[in-house]
Amino acid sequence: METSACTVTVIVPVYNAERYIRRISEALVNQDFFHYEILFVNDGSTDGTLEILSDVCRENEKQLITVISIENAGVSNARNVGVQNAKGQFITFVDSDDLVTPDYLTNLYDPFKNNVRGDLISMVNTTYVDGITIDVQERKSASCMDFESALRLMLERTRVIDVDVWGKMFPKSLLKKNLFTPNIIFEDLDIWPRLLKSSQIKDIYISGTYSYIHIEREGSLMHSNASMIDGTVIDVINQGMNIVVEEFPTLLTAYTERTISALSGVLEKKHGENFYWRNEVFEHLCKYATFSNFINSNSVKTKLLILLASFKNLAFYNYILARAKGY
């Protein structure tokens, strides 16, 4: 594969990240990789983020860094702006409060370098840190699997691979055809079915290295997104379900359980242990044919166990089970 002046673009959406932005900037500048750029998309930060990024740019002798400032419109829009301005043939996303190892880009790019067709998505294993413990998964060896099998593992939350878009490398041409949907949460659950349906990507390559360090903390994107819950979330979930039903029916159970679990988790952060919002969520979901078909399937009791685990509320679980029989 030929190497252009800029082979890889690293896109970092940034919002009020003054506590972390210098740290991730240094980690990205000090990669053992050549021919790449770092594109920070400042999503209307109101703290000192932009000033720090300006200092980092002045201090950077390699001239790797570009900063684009936009009005605040959410992480999906920021990622899209990054994709549209990327110079590299390949794109990887990094969250501003996470960390990467010095060989992060090398480990992601090597599969493309060794595959002249480039018909794959590359990802590295992830270390999860919650501030106290470091959770390193057992997978250590590199492997390659078909896209559908990989998506199943993402949806089943095995953490062999995860549904988030960080820690992965995509051909830019693929992302330009499948931009993120703005103003929604669960943008990762939204984009993967679309990528799987529309692309010529056949394989996902998983590096044997742990090169991405995801730091989970209060105030993270998942926590802050709780305020964005509205009816469009259900529309996004339904669109994903429709793709799965039409193109990949064997993934319907995994996709439905994953989206319900994600929705319930965010809503619980927003509303706490309140029974009534759960009732409203179920009513919305049951308006859609794909969910109604799912919930009426023969293995309904097994599939609804995820709700019991997610909501941790036996009364609500029994309520859902009773209501499901009426749809």
Nearest to 285 by CA among 302, 262, 260, 309: 260
For residue 2, give every residue at least 6 positions away whose Cβ sits within 8 Å of its Cβ, in sequence order, or none.
none
Question: What's at 211, amino acid-wise?
Answer: S
What's the half-sphere exposure (Cβ side, CA atoms, 13 Å) at 190? Answer: 18
Rounded Cα distance, 9 and 23, in Å: 18
Q: Tokens in use for 95?
A: 């969250």
> Given the DSSP bridges, would you call strands 143-146 and 90-93 parallel, antiparallel or unpaired?
unpaired
Contact 74, 182 (CB under 8 A): yes
pLDDT at 104: 95
**3-state SS, one letter per residue, for 169-225:** EEEHHHHHHCCCCCCCCCHHHHHHHHHHHHCCCCEEEEEEEEEEEEECCCCCHHHHH
Q: Note the pTM of the prediction, 2 decimals.
A: 0.80
Look up tokens 């259900």; give the residue.
Answer: 234
Rounded Cα distance, 288 and 63, in Å: 51
Residue 254: helix, strand or coil by DSSP?
A: helix
Task: Give pLDDT tens digits along the chain (327 positions).
Answer: 344 579 999 999 999 999 999 999 999 999 999 899 999 999 999 999 999 999 999 988 777 899 999 999 989 999 999 999 999 999 999 999 999 999 999 999 998 887 755 578 888 877 777 655 455 554 556 778 888 888 888 887 666 677 889 999 999 999 999 999 887 777 888 888 888 888 778 888 888 788 999 887 654 444 444 444 444 566 677 777 788 878 888 887 788 777 766 666 665 665 555 555 555 555 655 555 555 555 555 454 444 444 544 444 555 555 555 555 554
Cα–Cα separations (whole angstroms), residue 120 to 1, 169, 170, 299, 321: 14, 9, 8, 34, 41
Residue 48: helix, strand or coil by DSSP?
A: coil
Sorted by where each begins, the domain ranges of the chain are 8-215, 229-324
CATH architecture group of domain 8-215: Alpha-Beta Complex (3.90)
Contact 70, 77 (CB under 8 A): yes
Residue 325: helix, strand or coil by DSSP?
A: coil
Rounded Cα distance, 230 and 233, in Å: 6
